[in-house]
Amino acid sequence: MPGVPPTRFVYLGPESTFTEQALLTIPAAARGTRTPARSVPEALDAVRDGDADAALVPMENSIGGQVGVTLDELAFGGPLVITREVVIPVEFVLAARPGTTLDRIGAVAAHPQASAQCRAWLRAHLPDATVIDVLSNGKAAQDAAAGAVDAAICAPIAIDRFRLALLADKIADHPDAVTRFVLLSRPATPPAPTGDDITSLAVSIAHDRVGALLAVLTELAVRGVNLIRIESRPTGEQLGRYAFFLDCTGHVAEARLGEALQGLRRICADVRFLGSYPRAVPPGTVPETPVRPPAGLADTDFDDAAAWLHRLRTGEA
């Protein structure tokens, strides 16, 4: 929210999860108030109702894919816009009460997605342990601290929070896995362009029009707008009706992306703008060099073409 930095943050809870860990990477959130919500809709409704300034929720995981409930809320819920994205590594750890050793672990608490992503490690190091499903990584750590289980698969943030001992770190089967989170606020002027931005859209196409999706992609391609992600979600209206989620390089303030949006508005049944915001750089990675627009598709080229057309229409040419 340009001009008025958010101070009240809500996030998908409970505490001591990867979502809270991601939220703490945002300086304003580290200084402000942070309230966990029981679900993604509850977190987003807090922003819509004015009870919070911004909400951080998961958008996608490099292993598990899209977070459907977040996409549904963005496409069909009250309007919200993304002002920031956060990408963090999913580095699961095995933690237990101090003094616990691997050979004494008989029961491990874990969220089902966590245990699924650590299956090979568990099979190799704790083949006889019973994995007990819990509702969150934070709950797993809490149960281990309380002695309800011998150990927990959890996020690193939970170790100090619950005074646990680290038994093993980076136990996920895919060491390079990351999760992308988005910070959502009520609609306002987007953050200023940085030169390396993403614009997100939710698009509904005309289902009785042949080649409708191709027409959407063409509006982007002919203007040199790079499509970096496309996902589909059923609208719930009837079988075969989908909304498409697009992530494009560029900012709504840029001429070429602005023209592409106008084109989509003309040909689509509906276009919902989900925000223009800086591209996140995952920890430990080298920032990508922004791709320069092809010849004829820079903002200056659009400005020159618009000025030329104005001269034609006014007889100045």
Q: Give the model's pLDDT for residue 235.
A: 76
Residue keyed to tokens 């996030």: 11
Q: Are residues 185 and 219 in the same domain?
A: no
Closest CA relative to residue 43, chosen from 155, 181, 179 = 181
Q: Are residues 181 and 53 in the same domain?
A: yes
Closest CA relative to residue 216, chosen from 242, 236, 254, 184 = 242
pTM, to two decimals = 0.83
Q: Are residues 35 and 181 in the same domain?
A: yes
Output 57-60 pairs: Cβ under 8 A, ≥24 positions apart: 57/11, 57/12, 57/19, 57/181, 57/182, 57/184, 58/12, 58/18, 58/19, 58/179, 58/180, 58/181, 59/85, 59/180, 59/181, 59/182, 60/179, 60/180
Number of domains forming the structure of the chain: 3
Q: Are residues 120 and 23 in the same domain?
A: no
Q: Give the model's pLDDT for residue 283.
A: 63
153 is in which domain, residue-wise?
93-169
Which residue type occupies 298? A
List, for residues 289-308, the tens digit of each pLDDT value. 666 777 777 778 888 888 88
Q: Are residues 17 and 1 in the same domain?
A: yes
Q: β-pairing, 165-169 with 93-96?
A: antiparallel
Q: Are residues 206 and 291 in the same domain?
A: yes
Q: Are residues 269 and 249 in the same domain?
A: yes
Last residue of a domain, one of 158, 189, 220: 189
Q: Are residues 162 and 215 in the same domain?
A: no
39, 184, 239, 220 alpha-carbon torsion, rounded to 10°: -160
Q: Are residues 146 and 266 in the same domain?
A: no
Last residue of a domain, one of 131, 154, 189: 189
Q: Give the model's pLDDT for residue 265.
A: 92
Last residue of a domain, one of 112, 136, 169: 169
Q: What is the DSSP string of 203-223?
A: EE--TTSTTHHHHHHHHHHTT
Q: Give the model's pLDDT for residue 19.
A: 93
Q: Are residues 290 and 147 in the same domain?
A: no
Q: Give the model's pLDDT for residue 213.
A: 85
Q: Are residues 184 and 194 in the same domain?
A: no
CB 103 within 8 Å of CB 124: no
Q: For the domain that residue 150 is a member of, what is the CATH number?
A: 3.40.190.10
Residue ranges of the chain with per-residue pLDDT less than 50 = 1-2
Q: Are residues 312 and 253 in the same domain?
A: yes
Q: For the domain that residue 296 is a member of, what is the CATH number?
A: 3.30.70.260
Q: Give the model's pLDDT for residue 1.
A: 44
Q: Give the model's pLDDT for residue 77.
A: 92
Q: Give the model's pLDDT for residue 6.
A: 87
CB 11 within 8 Å of CB 37: yes
